[in-house]
Amino acid sequence: MAIHGLWVINKAGGLVYQRNFGDGLPHLTSNEYLVLAGTLHGIHAITSRLSPTGSSSGAQEICGETFKLTILLTATGTKFVLLTSLVEPNAGSVLQKVYEVYADAVMKNPFHTPEMPVRSEGFDARITALIGSG
């Protein structure tokens, strides 16, 4: 029951927000996170084409042996990715709340440029309130 990290990926596959919580996973350099986010964006697109039965969404949950990534794709193409331990039943609802916070603190901010990295203290503070500090 631990949340390791949160990513926000814009519709072009760029990482616009990344934050670690705790030391459950090693902290990588920001460049490595950018590459991983780009990879995930591509994989997500391919997974929706591999469906053996009719149409499919992209990957929603990717599991390793000790952690998983839960992915929320919004209608506008922004992806919210939560890195958690394997047993984290409410990862989906946390992501939904992150989306709400993002809509309030980022998209309604007149000084924010769409598709650009999120640098907003308000967003940071509200994420801290939601998930905890890290």
- What residues line the site for other proteins (CB under 8 A)? 25-26, 28, 32, 36, 39-40, 42-43, 46-67, 83
Partners of residue 71 on adjacent β-strands: 81
Q: Which is nearer to other proteins, 36 or 130 (CB)?
A: 36
Smallest distance from other proteins to CB 28, Å: 7
Check if the beta carbon of residue 74 is closer than 8 Å to that of residue 45: no
Check if the beta carbon of residue 45 is closer than 8 Å to that of residue 58: yes
Residue 36 CB, shortest distance to other proteins, in Å, is: 6
Minimum separation from the CB atom of position 114 to other proteins (A): 27
Q: Between residues 38 and 120, which has the closer beta carbon with respect to other proteins? A: 38
* 99 Cβ neighbours under 8 A, 6+ residues apart: 72, 74, 80
Q: Which is nearer to other proteins, 10 or 70 (CB)?
A: 70
Q: Is 9 helix (H, G, I), strand (E, B) or coil?
A: strand
Instruction: Output 4 or 126, the one with its CB closest to other proteins.
Output: 4
Output the CA angle 21-72-80, nearest 5 degrees: 40
Nearest distance in Å: CB 87, other proteins: 13
